[in-house]
Structure 1
Amino acid sequence: SGACALITMGNLKRILILGSAGRMSSGTARDLLATYSHSIEKLIIADSSNERLDILRESLTDSRIETNVIDVTDRQIILSLLAKCDVYINAVPTFAGLQMDIFHACFEAERITWITEAWAGITAIFGLGADPGLSNILCRVVADRLDRIDKMSLYWAAKFIGDENPILIPPYNLSTVLAEYGNLSQQFLNGKLQQVPAQSGFETIDLPEPFGKTSFIHSEHSEPLTVPFANAFKEKGIQEFTWKLSLPEREHQAWIRLVKAGFGETFDEDVTLPNGTSVRPVDVLQVVIDRNIERHKKRIPDQELHEIHFSIG
């Protein structure tokens, strides 16, 4: 749900979104082209999936759009696209592991030659989504109201209103969900980062409707690695900062069971099938989930999704 913008030049009229056909980034594209947005001359949307790009093209009929089907590991293609833009928005999933490669391509596109000037002239803004993004702003709002901070907790919850959905639909990138449920996470405890078990830190909070009593767990997220180290928090003596997640109960149980079945911390490590073929469990699961959604899309009910972000300090 987070994103990163790399601003490379002074004129901000041409924008590139890499990984632009995903759920989060397609919304970014719509916002940039909307009448309430600042005027832009060109929006370059690039993704590895032609199918997803086709869907996005159909929904965005705007002459300012340029679309590209690309291999995000091809440095020369990335450089050629960066040469066309003033602002680059990175929406490639975190678990693709390409963030630093893309950042260095941005540096190369600016032709920075002196090591001591490696960051000069380039501004990178991290976490432009909901979590991280709005969550960090919430924490700062709380911090500004406190003279001293001993402890701060950040929470995100989602709840569906409507008929129960018999089809499992990932709320965001599948690798991200599996990591949140299967990986150890780092939380800021007793003044330092510490690893805690997956799905630990169980806590129930009574929230306003439509949420009611809501249960939360620790999960892997970036805020504990950044927020307590910012001056606004560090200077006020913060000793504990945690992040907790709550997905709708039936979906929550489904992800727990998938982790129990082996789609946990090793979801992206190859396994060998009896016929000798090597596959990543997450790739198999993604194909199965996509097929199930397509086959049974008529069974998917209309639901209202409610989300809440809040911080307690």
Structure 2
Amino acid sequence: MKAAVLGVGGVGQVFASEIVKADYLDQLLLGDIITEGAEKLAGKLRRKTKAEIVVKKIDAGKVDEIEEALRDIDVVLHAGLPAFNFNIMEACARTKTNYIDMACASPQGLKEQLQWNGRFKAAGILGIMGLGCDPGFSNIAARYAVDQMDQVDEILIRDGDNSKIDYEGFCSLFSPQTAIEECLAKPNYWTADKGLAFFSKPFANKETFEFPEPIGPLECYSVEHEEATTLGDTIGKAKGCKYVDFKYALAPEFVNTVKAIGYLGLDSDKDINIKGTKVVPKDVVVANMPKPTELAGKVHGYSCIGAVVKGIKEDKKKELFVYTMANHDEIYEKTGYQATVWQTGLPPAVAVDLLAQGKLQAKGCIPPELIDPVPFLTRLKERGMYWDVIEKTSPVPQMATV
């Protein structure tokens, strides 16, 4: 198999480092508009694999350039900014290359990507939209839990981290651009009556969620995210689901800083003139934040992502929390990466494993919850990303009879 990763940042590096462990890999293409990091990574990977490692300068804004690079490539992971998803999908449709990304630009953008289903089927290829940790693992965890239920009432995705970071200043453990964009957008949710819907303002519906120890209770907020865009329609509605949302645990100082960025218009993508020089405000903010890879070894604590599914099984109320948890220090010691980046890079590697083994044969464009969860979660554990289930049950109240 010939694989490619476009965008060789932290997550792209994790994916590449995992995929070279596989015997089925013949070639790995590392593509980025700036190739210095890719060249350094290639040097390390060549000592670990017999597969050919190729580095190419690729501008994700140029479809023809992507198309040329993907000729003869079997599967590509887009690990760059979601703004370029459609460019890479277009190139994949032309070259008949299977496609995986890890995030979308917006809920509407995800729906537009899924509308390419017919075109990808005609090309005989698979496109998986949003296969990182969340979205990604979280969708598959939700599917695993839904499959255990006779009836589903709610699907709730929760992401929490209790870490302390050795950094003085504003930072994010994943893409700074994405963190700012999704936190300042109106959060989306889903109901059986409304379908996709939105809260009126960012950081809505604060709640305290009890994560497994050693994390414990954290304050969580509704944030724009992919899972609530699809889970209700794909796997929830058929079992009676009434509500789906996503909430993210955010520290007060993070929330206040992001709000200030929004109040000042520093989240804008539009050029402004500063003393005769055109700058993009958000680019200035991001340039002053560390890259997620630069935080490796500086993050101390635990990261937990999972899906809470509430419903009924065999006349009992049942609640399942299917989750994965990782310790930043342990992951750094084993891999050299911080846990959030590592947790995001493992799931797409598992998808490529299943493609190579013939266990993932779907065609068209799908969200991750349409992947069979059992072989996926089995392989994920084999690659070292552990997951567990917390179960709560109680009797269903019975109507009194006269």
- TM-score bin, normalised by smaller chain: 0.7 to 0.9
SS at match of 1:206: strand
| 1:116-157 Cα shifts (integer Å, max 9, x gaps) | 766221111222210111101111122122222222211011
Q: Which runs of 5+ in 1 are unaligned?
A: 1-12
Q: 2:139 aligns with which of 130, 136, 139?
A: 136
Kindly indicate whether the alpha-carbon contact (under 8 Å) linking 1:16 and 1:81 is maintained by their aligned counterparts in 2.
no
Count how many residue pairs are aligned between Structure 1 and Structure 2.
282
CA distance in 2, matches of 1:118, 1:53: 29
Amino acid at match of 2:14: G
Amino acid at match of 2:13: S
TM-score by length of 2: 0.64
Q: 1:206 aligns with which of 201, 207, 210?
A: 210
| 1:85-119 Cα shifts (integer Å, max 9, x gaps) | 1112222211xx222222122222249xxxx7662
CA distance in 1, matches of 2:55, 2:27: 11
RMSD: 2.6
| 1:141 to 1:118, Cα distance in 2 relative to 1, 3 A | closer
CA distance in 2, matches of 1:29, 1:110: 21
Kindly indicate whether the alpha-carbon contact (under 8 Å) linking 2:42 and 2:54 is maintained by their aligned counterparts in 1.
no
| 1:223 to 1:261, Cα distance in 2 relative to 1, 3 A | same
CA distance in 1, matches of 2:171, 2:42: 23
2:16 maps to which residue?
Answer: 29
Moved more, 42-51 or 101-110: 101-110
CA distance in 1, matches of 2:212, 2:252: 17
Kindly indicate whether the alpha-carbon contact (under 8 Å) linking 1:138 and 1:310 is maintained by their aligned counterparts in 2.
yes
User: C-alpha displacement at 1:164, in angstroms?
Assistant: 5.2
User: C-alpha displacement at 1:183, in angstroms?
Assistant: 0.9
CA distance in 1, matches of 2:257, 2:36: 28
User: C-alpha displacement at 1:67, in angstroms?
Assistant: 0.4
Q: Which runs of 5+ in 2 are unaligned?
A: 98-117, 311-402
Kindly indicate whether the alpha-carbon contact (under 8 Å) linking 1:178 and 1:263 is maintained by their aligned counterparts in 2.
no
2:303 maps to which residue?
Answer: 307
User: C-alpha displacement at 1:290, in angstroms?
Assistant: 4.5
2:31 maps to which residue?
Answer: 46
| 1:197-255 Cα shifts (integer Å, max 9, x gaps) | 2110111123333322201001111111111111x311112121000111455444433
CA distance in 1, matches of 2:45, 2:205: 43
Amino acid at match of 2:27: K
1:83 maps to which residue?
Answer: 71
1:98 maps to which residue?
Answer: 84
| 1:251-306 Cα shifts (integer Å, max 9, x gaps) | 44433433343334xx3222222x23322111111222249x98xx9xx9743241
| 1:179-211 Cα shifts (integer Å, max 9, x gaps) | 122111221135321111211011112333332
CA distance in 2, matches of 1:139, 1:188: 15
Percentage of identical aligned residues: 23
